[in-house]
Structure 1
Amino acid sequence: MEHTTLTPVFVGLRLALHGLIGGITGVVLVRALLNPGPATGGIVVAAVVLLGVYLAGALVVRWDGDRRRHLGRVWLLALTASWSALFWCTPEAAYLVFPLYFLHLHLWSPRVGVAAVAFLALVTVVGAGVRFGWNVGAVVGPVIGALVAVLVGWGYRSLAREAAEREALMAELLATQTRLAATERQTGVLAERGRLAREIHDTVAQGLSSIQMLLHAAERADPEGPGVEHVRLARTTAAANLADTRRFIRELTPPALDDQGLAGALRRLAATQWSTPRVLVRVIAPTEHADWPMDVQTAVLRIAQGAVGNALRHADATAVVVELSGDATRLQMIVTDDGCGFDVEDQVRRQSVGATDSFGLTAIRDRVGQFGGRLRVVSSPGGGTTVAVDLPLSSPATAP
């Protein structure tokens, strides 16, 4: 049995069931041996057979899947038959029908299990009346026991289902935590690489460029001077080092954000990856490269990839518009599609209880939250979807 938070409860119920069958059968054996009679031999044989069949169930548990289920039902039928033989010999075996109720409820489907319990109760009442005489206790006892067993069995199934749902939710939460941690690490790495790229560009690269220009001016001022060869060599060396520095900057800058920054990256994605003969993706963004922080640009790029990806994969959209705007204090992005839309509240509720494997909106919401921004999702079935993101550029999360 797979370990869950309710495993001790299930183990306790099974131990109680084992103890009940073993205890009642033991009492029947002891009473038959202490009060010998014509049926003593049959009682002993039937009781031993019943215990042997019950212990054989330990072998069935070792099988897996459908084979265990089929063998378990065959085993239960054999156990019920051996109980019937013991019950025919002594009325005290009637008490064993109570644990049999639980076994039938557990191994059969709910409807078949209830029908089996009703049949066993009927057999117990009729058999006791015909074989040993009719009385109120022989009728009321099995019926009440059957009702109690059905109620407890339903409770057991509900408890097991709730335990499975909790384990699935816990696994999803752990997986989400792992993904968020990986995302945070990746965002931190990209932000640090962007910061280093800007620092190198503003210091080393600018200094080498100035040195190259000064040496070039010195070479032109005195082209025939005695040290012109050294000046030319120094200028060439500075040019080579500047080229290496710019290569380092390109390698440090996230590939999707180099050259034209966030707007250029979105346009490239729209032209090369997002747009298809069936779907047109347009990007509306400033033509000039905005000097937004690299970590914020990276986050918005990832949010755009998630929102557009959702529209392409789930919304069956034919047109998607990505609109980018902002200033020195804020960066806004709106992604609108003409797809099938969805019920936002229902989607949030299903994600909160782990009833869906979709992670798109959760990832977007968490990424926006990391930067202290605001996320607004507007959608309705058949009405398309709008995802609006507003990120501040002066929050602690985006500060260098």
Structure 2
Amino acid sequence: MPTSARTPYVVGAATLACVLLAIPILESTFAAAPHTSSVVIFSLVTLVVMLVGGVWLMHAGDIHAEPATVFSWRPLVYIAVLASAWAMVIAETPHATYFLFALIGISQWLLPERTGAFVTLGLTVFTIVGQVFHHGASTGTVVGPLLIAVLMLAFMHMYRAMRFEALQKNAVIAELRDAQGQLVESEREKARITERERLGRDLHDTTAQSLSSVILRLGLAEEALDSGESAGALEHVRSASDATSEALSELRSAITHLTPKGSGPTRLEAALVRVAETARSRAVSNRRGTTPVIECRVAPDLPELNMTTATSLVRIVQSSLANALDHAHASRIEVRACAEGGEVHIDIEDDGRGFDVDEALLGPRGDSGGYGLGFVVQRSRELGGNAAIIAAPGDGALISVTIPVSQAPSDPPASPVSPH
């Protein structure tokens, strides 16, 4: 323990000892006793032994800020030498008994409780014998030291008990703070994971779709060049360039957390129509032959939607359209949105080649890496709703999403919903 932490205890003990050693000196001086000079000399010797021994114990590391719990031989030697010096004062005056308070306190502090109790008993007997031998037997020479010993033992026992309880409480508080810190860190990690998943979904539904379109258009441009159709190849390259710019814009939006913010039904309708037009435009560039028909029907009585709900609905439609066009190769897709009973319903139905729902959601590869149908279901559940997926191989597919508007977080309206 640092010396600065032990200094207050050493100073306090030395002050108390000086006061107790001054009592016999003052009593002898005022009484003009013939042994006054002896009392003064022996008291000063006792004081010097106490201070020099205290410095020795401090450098040896045997003086602590709390009562000792581990035995060391040095405090025993110190107490024995100090008691021997004090015995010379007892031989001169019975008032030296007051110093027993300090001597027992030092023993109880420097030694473990049980060892200190045995030493206290020895010092008490030593004092009584010295008093009786030099000053005669009386009630005071016997009862006085016993009373001092009992009081000091009781005081130090209560002090140790209170300190132990305080240390236990501090340990519990430290454990609680540690647990609280771990909980906070766990919540932060959970938030980080949630944010990564959100970014993954958004990138899949926006940037990844645009980049897929770029790859397809560049492939078509390469085929056109092989066929000698330079004009067609140039058109595909221009389309790929436009899709690349679109992907870059979407990526910047995701990085800066410029998430779509929604308000009323008109803005949601405009966003859904824009999603459908974008999907149709991509399908036209990526396919040869029939242009897919994408219809978007939004009921005029949709309730006001907050940012989180509107964003999720746009992303769900965006992902579902991409799945229907790229994987199911649908020629006709219908998007329907309506409100009923405090809930918003979104249906995306296509006439594509369909799929096995269980295999798509629970299979070893999931939904082409896990960012399509699985995230449609997850987004719906995050808003307190659900998603029903009805499909079969060769029979098309229907994705029906229901979101309770009352459970959606309430965010203030800001700007129109964007499909990107």
Among candidates 47, 51, 63, match of residue 47 of structure 2: 51
Matched, 1:105 2:108: yes
* SS of residue matched to 2:59: coil
For residues 18-64 of structure 1, what are the alpha-carbon distances to aligned partners after superposition, in whole Å with 9 as ceiling and x for unaligned? 44322121122223334444433321121001111222355246436
In structure 2, which of residues 109, 120, 124 is the aligned counterpart of residue 121 of structure 1?
A: 124
The corresponding residue for 2:272 is none
**Cα 1:16/1:136, change in 2 over 3 Å:** farther
1:156 and 2:156 are equivalent in the alignment: no
Match of 2:96 in 1: 93
Q: Distance in 1 between matches of 2:16 and 2:131?
A: 21
Q: Are 2:17 and 1:21 equivalent residues in the alignment?
A: yes
Mean Cα displacement is larger for which, 167-176 or 82-91? 167-176
CA distance in structure 1 between the partners assigned to 2:117 and 2:128 by the alignment: 17
Which whole-Å CA distance do the structure 2 matches of 1:193 and 1:14 have between them?
59
- Please name the residue that 1:312 is paired with: none
Partner of 1:132: 135
* Contact 1:60–1:72, Cα closer than 8 Å, also in 2: no
Residues in 1 aligned to 2:58 and 2:230: alpha-carbon distance in whole angstroms: 94
SS in structure 1 opposite 2:124?
helix
CA distance in 2, matches of 1:139, 1:170: 47
Check 1:193–1:41 CA distance in 2 against 1; reply closer, same or farther (3 A cut).
same
Name the counterpart of 1:73.
76
Q: What is the match of residue 169 of structure 1?
A: 172
* Contact map agreement 2:224 2:233 (CA 8 A) in 1: no
The offset of 1:107, in angstroms, is: 1.7
- Other-structure match for 2:38: 42
1:63 aligns with 2:59: yes
- Which of 142, 147, 165 is the aligned partner of 2:145? 142
- Checking the alignment, whether the CA contact within 8 Å between 2:132 and 2:141 is kept in structure 1 is yes
1:309 matched to which residue of 2?
Answer: none
Q: Secondary structure at the match of 1:63?
A: helix
**Is 2:230 the counterpart of 1:226?**
yes
| CA–CA distance in structure 1, aligned partners of residues 136 and 121 of structure 2 | 21
**3-state SS of the aligned residue for 1:140?**
helix
Number of matched pairs: 260
Q: Which residue in 2 is equivalent to 1:181?
A: 184
Q: Give me the whole-angstrom Cα distance separating, in 1, the residues matched to 2:378 and 2:188.
A: 17
Say if 1:208 and 1:242, in contact at 8 Å, map to a contact too.
Answer: no
Q: Provide the rounded CA distance (Å) in 1 between the counterparts of 2:362 and 2:22.
A: 87
- What displacement does 1:95 show? 1.3
d(CA) in 2 for partners of 1:156 and 1:67?
A: 17
* Aligned counterpart in structure 1 of residue 199 of structure 2, from 196, 199, 222: 196
Tell me how far apart the structure 2 counterparts of residues 67 and 51 of structure 1 sit (CA, whole Å).
Answer: 18
Q: CA–CA distance in 2 between the matches of 1:186 and 1:164?
A: 33
SS of the equivalent of 2:230 reads coil
2:401 matched residue in structure 1: none
Cα separation, partners in 2 of 1:56 and 1:293, compared to 1, 3 Å: farther
For residues 241 and 26 of structure 2, the distance between their equivalents in structure 1, rounded to whole angstroms, comes to 104
Q: CA deviation at 1:241?
A: 9.4
Shift of 1:17: 4.6
Secondary structure of the structure 2 residue equivalent to 1:168: helix
Consecutive unaligned residues in structure 2, runs of 5 or more? 65-71, 253-360, 388-406, 410-420
67 and 132 in structure 1: CA distance in 2 versus 1, 3 angstrom threshold? closer
Q: CA–CA distance in 2 between the matches of 1:62 and 1:238?
A: 81
Shift, 1:132, TM fit:
0.6
Aligned residue type for 1:131: H
From the superposition, tell whether residues 244 and 395 of structure 1 become closer, same or farther in structure 2 (CA, over 3 Å).
closer
Counterpart of 2:137 in structure 1: which amino acid? W
Q: Secondary structure of 1:143's match?
A: helix
1:214 Cα shift? Answer: 5.3
- My pick for the range that moved more, 222-231 or 204-213, is 222-231
- 1:240-279 CA distance string (max 9 Å, x none): 999999x99xxxxxxxxxxxxxxxxxxxxxxxxxxxxxxx
Partner of 2:55, secondary structure, is helix
| Equivalent position SS for 1:227 | helix
Query: What is the CA–CA distance in structure 2 between the aligned matches of 1:200 and 1:149, rounded to whole Å?
Result: 75
**Structure 1 residues 66 and 57, CA gap change in structure 2 (3 angstroms):** closer
TM-score, normalised with respect to structure 1: 0.53
Distance 1:58 1:242, change over 3 A: farther
Counterparts of 1:346-365 in structure 2 under 5 Å? none
2:245 and 2:73 map into 1 onto residues whose CA distance is 76
1: distance between equivalents of 2:99 and 2:408? 70
- 8 Å Cα contact 1:205-1:242 kept in structure 2: no
2:126 partner letter: V
Give the whole-Å Cα distance in 1 for the aligned partners of 2:139 and 2:25.
26
**TM-score between both structures, scaled by the size of structure 2:** 0.51
Q: In 2, are the aligned partners of 1:219 and 1:231 still within 8 Å (CA)?
A: no
